[in-house]
Amino acid sequence: MKTQLRVDWPSCKGRGLCHHVLPELIDLDEWGYPIVKGPVTKELREDAKEAVRVCPQLALRLT
């Protein structure tokens, strides 16, 4: 099973910090909310963990 990044939409405030940490996997929509582009690869796993850690709203998680 592949590791995925999940967004808790009610908690997300669209600050975009996750995109700054992980631009290879997270784009931002026109309002600044994250768009996850695919599964987390082994190469991006540590950056994904960092994106989860820096989210001020705790709106990201790895599954």
Give tens-digit pLDDT for 12-55.
999 999 999 999 999 999 999 999 999 999 999 999 999 999 99
Distance CA 48, CA 4 (A): 9
Q: Which fold has domain 5-62?
A: Alpha-Beta Plaits (3.30.70)
Quote the pTM value: 0.91
Of the chain, the percentage scoring pLDDT greater than 90 comes to 97
How many C-beta atoms lie closer than 10 Å to residue 21's C-beta?
20
At 34 the pLDDT is: 97
Q: What is the predicted pLDDT for the residue at 1? A: 72
